[in-house]
Amino acid sequence: MTALSQQALEGVRRIKPYQPGKPVEELERELGLTDIIKLASNENPLGPGQAARAALSAPLSQLERYPDGNGFALRSALAAHHDVGPERIVLGNGSNDVLELIARAFLTRGRRSVFSEHAFAVYPLASQAVGAELCGVPANPAAHPEQPFGHDLDAMAEAVNEHAAVVFIANPNNPTGTWVEPAVLETFLQRVPAHVAVVLDEAYNEYMAPELRPATSKLLDQYDNLIVTRTFSKVYGLAALRAGYALAHPDVADLLNRIRQPFNVNALAQAAAIAALGDTRHVERSVALNNEGLRQLRAGLTAMGLGFLPSQANFVTVDCARPAGPLFDALLRKGVILRPLAGYGMPNHLRITVGTKDENQRCLDALGEVLDIAGAAA
């Protein structure tokens, strides 16, 4: 440790770095493999739609220009999409950016950040960086009949003490795929005091069954302390461009807009996001492919006698019933990248992103081989 690194803020020094899904190029370099499939980062196997791809050409010819720092066109499109005023929208360099803005605006030493155990890793990361007290609330037990490893919102409401400033809820949650019933969410919102921010992270909202999706715009009208986050990285297939946003009360949005970088969303991302938002057919196609892929993966896992968590997202979390680390490594050697979850306190689980039909089958076959389950590849 240098004298300078010792001077870093305590919260920063104690951070455990985020572990992203293993990039394909990295595995190519390490093992000299080709024909690798990556089902590790919940990306859309179809990529972006044609409209989003086409929208990139105009900003590409103007790379010397700063993007619109207010994101006027994108915020207008989002306002229409959600039927809210543009003053409720905060754009981010991915929704990760917005989650950090929320942490910076509301958390510091002496304030508590509440989230569920096995929830998205960015909540503790962003909270710890600003020195807040981390309160990871025990999740539902593995034997829970409906939402094993899912958020226990009653316990989370109880964790909201006088120091609590932010509660993060991922719905559906990554890496479990579990979700919160609309009525349960509403009861929770009623219980949390109005000066505590409730962040509802809806990165996978578009994949949910329609009847399970919260009435986002209506809830925003009712609860001034609700902040909803969304992303273009998942169903819209634009993870590389980094675009996400928050919907919040105009006063809260104003605060978050004051602390973001003036040009935090680049011009390519803004243009592609607007086009993607209007391309409802691509979203429908992506969701349909995902639903088929979920059925395929569940059937294959069931045939192998493997358990898995219920999911309303674009991934399935498998209970390998043994340490998953060696299985993850063995799958890498077969050119299949999944996501190990030991860092999430789930050492026996692997998360599989739903891919194309062929990718899903290759994943199932490889899993059967490394588990040495007779007839798994049949």
The yes or no reply on residue 100 touching ligand PLP (CB under 6 A) is no
Minimum CB–partner distance for residue 301 and ligand PLP (Å)? 21
CA dist 221 and 84 (Å) reads 9
The yes or no reply on residue 170 touching ligand PLP (CB under 6 A) is yes
Which of 126-134, 233-241, 262-270, 280-288 is the region at the interface with ligand PLP (rule: CB under 6 A)?
233-241
How many other CB atoms are there within 10 angstroms of residue 315's CB atom? 30
Quick note: the x/- pattern for ligand PLP over 185-214, rule CB under 6 A, is ----------------x-x-----------
How many other CB atoms are there within 10 angstroms of residue 369's CB atom? 15
Closest to ligand PLP by CB, 164 vs 269, is 269
User: Residue 266: which of 60, 126, 12, 33 has the closest Cα?
Assistant: 60
* Residue from 94, 293, 310, 368 in contact with ligand PLP (CB under 6 A): 94
Beta partners for residue 340, in sequence order: 350
**Integer CA distances (angstroms), 242 to 104, 129, 231, 277, in order:** 20, 21, 8, 15
Sheet holding 89-92, edge to edge: 89-92, 244-247, 226-231, 197-201, 164-170, 112-116, 133-137
294 and 39 Cβ atoms separated by less than 8 Å: no
The yes or no reply on residue 95 touching ligand PLP (CB under 6 A) is yes
What phi and psi, each to the nearest 5 degrees, are found at residue 61? -85, 5
The yes or no reply on residue 42 touching ligand PLP (CB under 6 A) is yes
The yes or no reply on residue 353 touching ligand PLP (CB under 6 A) is no
Minimum CB–partner distance for residue 129 and ligand PLP (Å)? 15
The yes or no reply on residue 308 touching ligand PLP (CB under 6 A) is no
Closest to ligand PLP by CB, 276 vs 370, is 276
The yes or no reply on residue 244 touching ligand PLP (CB under 6 A) is yes
Closest to ligand PLP by CB, 308 vs 315, is 315
Binding site for ligand PLP (CB under 6 A): 42, 94-96, 120, 170, 174, 201, 203, 231, 233-234, 239, 244
